[in-house]
Structure 1
Amino acid sequence: MATPSSPPLVIDLIDTLGAVLVRVAGELDALTAPELACVLAPLRSRHCELDLDHVSFADSTGLNLLLRHRRQAQAAHGSMRLIAVSPQVRRLLDVSGVTHLLLVDGGPPDGRT
């Protein structure tokens, strides 16, 4: 879990006018998930790709955020997929049994061609 001396969550957005690439670095936990939630909220109706390759730690709060945003995006005719994850995030997805819901193999999001 992030401590006051932990590096902040760094979030970069790259809007390609198609999908929005969201690059995240740092720790994704109860202290930092609200920051990412604020960034993702206005993107619900867009097609978002998240790069979590530089997330050094993620807990159930971060996982909950990702699952919630995915569900809300689908309801708003958008999408969200993880295009890259760190080993720590991959372990969390695998242990939670949601890898197949969030992590893609490089194909188009949500079956788009």
Structure 2
Amino acid sequence: MNIVIDVNEKELDVEIKVAGEIDAYTAPKLKERIYSFSEKDGVRMTIDLSDVNYMDSTGLGVFVGLFKNVRSHDGEFKLIGLSERLIRLFEITGLADIININSKIEGGIK
């Protein structure tokens, strides 16, 4: 159960690339690594999940918390590169109607 988190920050644009599994073991690491970025006023946070092969409800909880925090600071929050399985997870929970999930990578995060 490994997770790799790469952050590219340029002023208010924060691009995060996550690879591996997001579960009860790795979700706290993810939150610890990126939560502080969600507290910047006007941040534009994009998280690329194209290399995430598994996520459970703990991972969903991290993204809901990030989304709420970004929005409370008048920022933008977007998830990109979701697999069909992850898209389905967000749809089943109703989060796809709230959080901007885009299955295509725009411009690409490297």
TM-score normalized by structure 2? Answer: 0.81
TM-score normalized by structure 1? Answer: 0.79
Measure how far apart 1:104 and its partner are: 4.0
Deviations 1:43-86 (A, max 9, x none): 11221100001110011110111011100111122232112212
CA distance in 2, matches of 1:104, 1:23: 14
* Identity value in percent: 29
Q: CA RMSD in A?
A: 1.7
- Tell me what 1:13 maps to: 7
- 1:97 corresponds to 2:99: no
2:87·2:103 contact (CA, 8 Å) conserved in 1? no
1:58·1:88 contact (CA, 8 Å) conserved in 2? no
CA distance in 1, matches of 2:50, 2:103: 14
- Tell me what 1:22 maps to: 16
Secondary structure, counterpart of 2:74 in structure 1: coil
Q: How many residues align?
A: 100
- 1:49 corresponds to 2:46: yes
Structure 2: where are the runs of 5+ without partners? 105-110
